[in-house]
Structure 1
Amino acid sequence: MNTWKKFACGVTLGAMLFTLTACGGDSNTTDDGKLETVRLTEVIRSIFYAPHYVAIEKGYFKEQGLDIQLDTAWGGDKATTRLLANQDDIALVGAETTIFVQQQGAPDALVSFAQATQRDGSFLVARQSATNFDWSQLKGKSLLGSRAGSMPEMVSEYVQKQHGLKPFTDNQIIQNIAFDNQAAAFASGTGDFFQAFEPAASLLEKQGQGHVVASFGQDIGTLPYTVFMAKSSYLKSHPETVQKFTNAVQKAQDYLHTAKPEEVASVIKPYFTDVDQEILVRVVKRYQESDAWPTNTVIDQQEFANMKKIMQTAGELKKDVAYETVVEPSFSEKAKQK
């Protein structure tokens, strides 16, 4: 069974099981003067996802009359299952999820309505610093990579192909090490290169065990890498709620493009108590410089097309899915105008 079928079948089965205990009906009603509750799940806890942490801590959601109940799913399949089973209202997860679910024939489609990140958030870490790095240097080397079929892995293989490399033929890609153990594995000698997310990349640099030589995000261009999505039925039944949510995220994006890294790091610190402030500042600065966060939340058609091209090249786009089927840009367009 190929990757997207495994993902979609797992999500569908999980949703069926969880539906037995899922909350039913419309729980997001408000009384006079009370904040409306919105249940938000994030795929993982990551500095990369600063927009909604900022919106919570800066009070942007409360300004819109929303009380955000945040949980972390620790996995795209888990986040999607929670959404499909009505355990959460909105999920922050990779936009490719909507395509996987749509290809499985879900009766209530998942629809992306606001963009949180616009580039891949991983960096290429080498054992030695390289002032004139070229992707051809991966030839004949080993790369500690990501899970097969995941967007980071699809991006990695796409970038390599764009630079004339044949992944797995010209090099070895190591995919049998769990995400949480990858940084330690690289530090102990596994792989010549490492596709690292933050703060792992900065920690390796600080410890003198690795050097960031390239950004996958800057090389691949813009795409709806991580987005806020909801079931189509939720968007139709809660349009005002979704608009308020999007307004708050847009304000957070504005902040991320104007605030200094030190300020942003202080705001999101409550979500990363185990990360040193110095590393937190370094990571925020790196994401700002790599243009990871969009200036607005609109998912445009060109970005969506870029994502589908990457999926198609990786063999994960089995059937074309139209932009209008899984993207609803009206909320972001209104938030942008404000």
Structure 2
Amino acid sequence: MRHRLLALAAGTALLATTACGGQDSPSQEDGELTPLTAGVIPIVDVAPVHLGVEQGIFEAHGIDLTLESSSGGAAIVPGVVSGEFDLGFSNMVSLIIAREQGLPLTTLTNGVTSTGEQGADLGGVFVSGDSDIESAADLESARVAINTLSNIGDTTVRQSVRVAGGDPTGIEFVELPFPDMPAALETGQVDAVWAVEPFGTVIRQAGGREIASNFVDTDPDLSVAAYFTSEQRLAEDPELFASLTAALEESLAYAQDHPDAVREVMTSYTEIDQSVVDALILPRFPSEIDRDSVQTLADLMLEDGVIDAEADLDGLYR
């Protein structure tokens, strides 16, 4: 599964010309907007870019940003490499894997950060209300659902097991989309799930229990995900991407300062009940990536065999 990203990108010219290549930058005097497309995931993490579009932040920077939903970072990465997307949102593990496979990606801003609070984070490990599993240490031989194998889910869940004093080597990880996890847990298809908001709240409201906050166990200041582009796209129009980065930073700051707006905008791109929207746990939205926390992730990836050699993270940052 470590070669998922490379396989998805196979057949794609690494230096493909994007659909937007050669367009004028947003500094042009005619007032026209530069169209860009971003690959995102329908979870709470990407509320800032939705708010940025809604509030006219990207437009103020000369950008007409179209948001296209995808299943996860492992699918968005090859879309950015091929030029299908000018901008992508992905967890840091997917980006580290991509860089280690030679894919020319670079981050623009942080995407989402852990709250740092046990039992009150944007993601966690959940079991059914009547499960015999009491802590992450009890997951040693459990069947655990995650959205993408060999990625940030299993990497951080293993760390929760270690922190709790258990051995994670015997866990059976099962790939399952986030929306399918509540039902899989309720029917006993799996013993536990790693879910992010809003699906964590859905599980709680159905009687499930959280046994670990895997992001917090990894690093309380964990930079979970980032907005990124390709090195080629950035080199083609650095002025455009400077404007895009500024718009992203403003959107993140707006989301951080307006939690009610975050909840409200989620109803525009997810199909969840208002009761869930009102109760879900919001993450932090700083614009700066916590590089120490990303190094921790890279070290765990090496320990667990997700990557074969020590990651060179310098190229990951703009």
TM-score of the two chains, using structure 1 as the length reference: 0.80
| 1:76-122 Cα shifts (integer Å, max 9, x gaps) | 3431222111222111112333332333334xx11112111123842
Written as runs of structure 1 = structure 2, the 5 A alignment for 1:86-165 is 86-106=83-103, 109-119=104-114, 121-128=122-129, 134-138=135-139, 142-165=143-166
> In 1, are the aligned partners of 2:94 and 2:151 still within 8 Å (CA)?
no
Question: 1:129 and 1:249 mapped to 2: Cα distance?
Answer: 43
Residues 1:310 and 2:308 are matched in the alignment:
no
**Runs of 4+ off more than 6 Å:** none
Question: 1:160 and 1:252 mapped to 2: Cα distance?
Answer: 35
> In 1, are the aligned partners of 2:263 and 2:277 still within 8 Å (CA)?
yes
Structure 2 letter corresponding to 1:114? T
Structure 2 letter corresponding to 1:153? D
| 1:148-173 Cα shifts (integer Å, max 9, x gaps) | 3021111111221232211243xx43
Written as runs of structure 1 = structure 2, the 5 A alignment for 1:66-77 is 66-77=63-74
- Residue 309 of structure 2 is matched in structure 1 by 319
> In 1, are the aligned partners of 2:222 and 2:293 still within 8 Å (CA)?
yes
| 1:211-267 Cα shifts (integer Å, max 9, x gaps) | 23432222221333211111112222322222222222222222333224x332123
Question: 1:146 and 1:263 mapped to 2: Cα distance?
Answer: 27
Structure 2 letter corresponding to 1:94? N
- Residue 167 of structure 2 is matched in structure 1 by 166
- Identity across aligned pairs (percent)? 18
Question: 1:71 and 1:145 mapped to 2: Cα distance?
Answer: 22
Question: 2:175 and 2:297 mapped to 1: Cα distance?
Answer: 25
Deviation at 1:145, TM superposition (A): 4.0
Deviation at 1:55, TM superposition (A): 1.3
- Residue 206 of structure 1 is matched in structure 2 by 205
Structure 1 letter corresponding to 2:91? G
Question: 1:76 and 1:6 mapped to 2: Cα distance?
Answer: 11
> In 1, are the aligned partners of 2:87 and 2:228 still within 8 Å (CA)?
yes
SS in 2 for 1:311: helix
SS in 1 for 2:38: strand
Q: Which moved more, 1:153-162 or 1:22-31?
A: 22-31
- Residue 264 of structure 2 is matched in structure 1 by 266
Number of equivalent positions: 307
Question: 1:153 and 1:216 mapped to 2: Cα distance?
Answer: 9
SS in 1 for 2:288: coil
Gaps of 5+ in 1: 329-338
Question: 1:198 and 1:22 mapped to 2: Cα distance?
Answer: 33
| 1:189-214 Cα shifts (integer Å, max 9, x gaps) | 23343222222221222233x12343
- Residue 228 of structure 1 is matched in structure 2 by 227
Question: 2:15 and 2:316 mapped to 1: Cα distance?
Answer: 23
Structure 2 letter corresponding to 1:320? E
Gaps of 5+ in 2: 115-120
SS in 2 for 1:230: strand
| 1:2-39 Cα shifts (integer Å, max 9, x gaps) | x323432332x1424995x9637324545511122122
Structure 1 letter corresponding to 2:165? G
> In 2, are the aligned partners of 1:38 and 1:68 still within 8 Å (CA)?
yes
> In 1, are the aligned partners of 2:80 and 2:229 still within 8 Å (CA)?
yes
TM-score of the two chains, using structure 2 as the length reference: 0.84
- Residue 186 of structure 2 is matched in structure 1 by 187
SS in 2 for 1:15: coil
> In 2, are the aligned partners of 1:143 and 1:191 still within 8 Å (CA)?
yes
Structure 1 letter corresponding to 2:239? E
> Kindly tell me: are residues 317 and 251 of structure 1, through their superposed partners in 2, closer, same or farther at Cα, counting changes over 3 Å?
same
SS in 1 for 2:257: coil
